């Protein structure tokens, strides 16, 4: 009987330990790690609705980003320089995101020793809800189409972010959506920050 109790206890502990790897909204407030081959990212909530992301790459210098709501990049710092995206409207009005929501935010991109070449526009279209898996963990995500256009209307970048509102993090990006070249680049592992 004692052997069964120990085996049962070990099974319960193993299940609990395995389940602890999935980060929920409450645990996300303490920060967490997302990884895929070649990148290790540490997410930490910051003041003013920002999320600080420290990225370590296998083949590039480390980078720190500040993302409003964990979705919209407003600042980036690395060995190659700093970049700030200054919006001309209140980003807080975009959140919480809901399926069907659309918005346009005009901003200027600032880098050291470079004059801005004009304003840019970030178009956001929340296309719907999906489920995304990170290992054994499943997350409800919003498919957020992001298009960045130049002042002249030329598309500079376009992708669909699979954004987990509970984590305030983009878990993956979908490129060339709806074409034969469609691809998804996403994280594969989630775990808590070490104590």
151 versus 19: the higher-pLDDT residue is 151
135 versus 124: the higher-pLDDT residue is 124
Q: What is the mean pLDDT of residues 124-132?
A: 97
Tens of pLDDT, residues 8-58: 444 344 433 444 479 999 999 999 999 999 999 999 999 999 999 999 999
The gap between the terminal CA atoms of the chain, to the nearest Å, is 37
Taken in order of first residue, the domains within the chain and their CATH numbers are: 27-192 (2.40.360.10)
194 — pLDDT class (breaks 50, 70, 90)? confident
* Structural contact between residues 118 and 150, judged by C-beta atoms closer than 8 angstroms: yes
Residue written as token pair 């983009």: 170
Biggest distance spanned by C-alpha atoms of the chain? 76
Average pLDDT taken over every residue of the chain: 89
151 versus 9: the higher-pLDDT residue is 151
d(CA 128, CA 194): 34
d(CA 57, CA 47): 25
102 — pLDDT class (breaks 50, 70, 90)? very high
Bridge-partner residues for 121, per DSSP? 106, 149
Tens of pLDDT, residues 74-86: 999 998 889 999 9
pLDDT at 162 exceeding the cut of 80: yes
């Amino acid at each position: 009987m004692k052997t069964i109790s120990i085996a049962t206890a070990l099974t319960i502990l193993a299940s609990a330990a395995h389940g602890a790897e999935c980060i929920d909204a409450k645990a996300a407030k303490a920060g967490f790690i997302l990884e895929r081959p070649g990148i290790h990212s540490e997410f930490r909530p910051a003041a003013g609705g920002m999320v600080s992301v420290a990225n370590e790459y296998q083949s590039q210098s480390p980078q720190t980003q500040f993302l409003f709501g964990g979705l919209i990049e407003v600042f980036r710092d690395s060995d190659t320089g700093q970049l700030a995206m200054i919006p001309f409207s209140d980003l807080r009005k975009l959140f919480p995101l809901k399926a069907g929501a659309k918005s346009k935010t005009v901003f200027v991109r600032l880098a050291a020793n470079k004059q801005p070449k004009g304003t840019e526009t970030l178009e956001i279209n929340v296309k719907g809800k999906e489920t995304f898996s990170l290992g054994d963990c499943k997350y409800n995500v919003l498919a957020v189409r992001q298009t960045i256009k130049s002042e002249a209307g030329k598309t500079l970048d376009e992708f669909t972010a699979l954004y987990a509102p509970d984590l305030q993090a983009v878990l993956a990006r979908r490129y060339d959506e709806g074409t034969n070249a469609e691809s998804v680049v996403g994280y594969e592992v989630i775990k808590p920050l070490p104590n």
